[in-house]
């Protein structure tokens, strides 16, 4: 299920970090924790598990600000307007739609770091109708896609979409998410570890997007993702999982959110 979260700014503060993805993720977890502590604890500590990995199975887009200016030299966004919005999607049964609405309605989101913060109130939650999924889809990223590959020395490579392993890792990640969700519902008949027929093809320009995680702390790190359009051929069920839970890694930290190309929402 995908939702558009509409926000209204509170107070006079207007400066938000350019790298706000981690802060928005933290704000979302705080909202969920206030509304449903058990669900929040499950997402934080357990998640959906498969093949020795754990998934949160949700993702969110960048924020669309009404009235803003980017100030690169300060590392800030000046949101001088009054409203903003973003989309968030959960791989969850449609019957849980009202549950998700209840989590966010009238909640307060505080987005920022030690330098500056902006307070928002959720004014409306709109369910977004899903697209018609077919085996070959074209997508546009709404937040950077992040794909990492483990090295033998224990480190990680952050892959460019032109890397020959990129599409394979995207597909493996979707299969793992499918398996994790199936296990959570008691259905273990979905996709096994065998890769189905698929293809991945970037379209047009690819824009590098570095995202700071835990900025202004000792744990600060830079993750490299990419904003781009792409064509993806895969089973319909996996298309839906990618659209809903995010393509690639770290969806719950705001990576991998997409929209169907030419179907602007």
Label residue 263 by pLDDT band (50, 70, 90): low
pLDDT band per the 50, 70, 90 thresholds, residue 101: confident
pLDDT of residue 100: 77
| Residue 23, CA distances (Å) to 39, 111, 182 in order | 20, 6, 30
Question: Domain residue spans in the chain?
Answer: 2-128, 136-260
Nearest to 204 by CA among 110, 139, 120: 139
Check residues 51 and 218 and name the one with the higher pLDDT: 218
Mean pLDDT (whole number) for 52-72: 84
Question: Do 2-128 and 136-260 have matching folds?
Answer: yes
- The token pair that represents 106 in the structure block: 């009238």
Q: Is the pLDDT of residue 233 over 70?
A: yes
Check pLDDT > 50 for residue 70: yes
Q: Which two tokens stand for residue 71?
A: 């100030």
- Interatomic CA distance for residues 128 and 220, integer angstroms: 34
- Mean pLDDT, range 4-32, rounded to an integer: 92
pLDDT band at residue 55 under the 50/70/90 scheme: very low
pLDDT at 265: 47
89-98: per-residue pLDDT in tens? 988 766 567 7
> Which residues lie across from 64 on neighbouring strands?
85
Residue 54 pLDDT more than 60? no
- Is CATH 3.30.70.1900 correct for 136-260? yes
Give residue 79's pLDDT.
97
What DSSP assignment string belongs to 161-189? Answer: TTSTTHHHHHHHHHHHHHHHHHHHTT---
Contact in structure between 37 and 98 (CB atoms under 8 Å): no
Distance CA 107, CA 120 (A): 8
Lowest-pLDDT range of 10-19, 21-30, 44-53: 44-53
Arithmetic mean of pLDDT, 54-59: 70
Q: CA-to-CA distance for 145 and 255, rounded, in angstroms?
A: 5
pLDDT for residue 44 = 54
What's the pLDDT tens digit per position in 141-156? 999 999 999 999 989 9
Residue 165 above 90 pLDDT? Answer: yes
Structural domain 2-128, CATH architecture: 2-Layer Sandwich (3.30)
> DSSP assignment, residue 145?
B
pLDDT score of 57 more than 90: no
Percent of the chain surpassing pLDDT 70: 85
The values of phi and psi at residue 85, to 5°, are: -160, 160
Task: Assess whether pLDDT exceeds 80 at residue 36.
Answer: no
- Average pLDDT rounded to a whole number, residues 173-182: 86
Mean pLDDT of 168-176: 94
| Cα angle value 92/96/100 (rounded, 5°) | 90
pLDDT for residue 235 is more than 60: yes
**Predicted pLDDT of residue 182:** 78
Q: Distance between CA atoms of 86 and 193, rounded to whole angstroms?
A: 34
* 167: exposed, middle or buried (Cβ count in 10 Å: 0-12, 13-18, 19+): buried
For the sheet containing 69-71, what is the strand order?
15-17, 76-78, 69-71
């Amino acid at each position: 299920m995908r939702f558009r979260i509409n926000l209204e700014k509170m107070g006079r503060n207007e400066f938000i970090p350019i790298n706000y993805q981690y802060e928005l993720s933290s704000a979302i977890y705080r909202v969920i924790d206030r509304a449903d502590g058990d669900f929040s604890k499950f997402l934080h500590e357990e998640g959906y598990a498969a093949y020795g990995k754990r998934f949160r199975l949700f993702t969110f887009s960048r924020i669309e600000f009404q009235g803003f200016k980017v100030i690169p030299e300060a590392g800030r966004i000046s949101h001088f307007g009054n409203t903003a919005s973003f989309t968030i999607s959960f791989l969850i049964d449609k019957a849980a739609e009202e549950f998700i609405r209840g989590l966010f309605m009238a909640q307060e989101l505080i987005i920022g770091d030690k330098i500056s913060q902006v307070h928002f109130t959720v004014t409306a939650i709109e369910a977004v109708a899903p697209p018609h999924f077919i085996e070959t889809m074209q997508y546009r990223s709404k937040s950077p896609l992040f794909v990492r590959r483990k090295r033998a020395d224990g480190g990680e490579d952050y892959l460019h979409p032109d890397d020959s392993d990129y599409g394979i890792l995207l597909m493996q990640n979707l299969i793992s998410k499918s398996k994790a969700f199936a296990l959570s519902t008691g259905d273990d008949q979905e996709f096994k570890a065998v890769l189905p027929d698929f293809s991945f093809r970037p379209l047009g320009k690819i824009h590098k997007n570095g995202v700071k995680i835990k900025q202004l702390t000792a744990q600060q790190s830079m993750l490299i993702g990419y904003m781009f359009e792409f064509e993806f051929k895969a089973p319909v069920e996996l298309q839906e999982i990618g659209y809903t839970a995010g393509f690639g890694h770290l969806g719950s930290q705001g990576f991998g959110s997409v929209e169907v190309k030419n179907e602007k929402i």
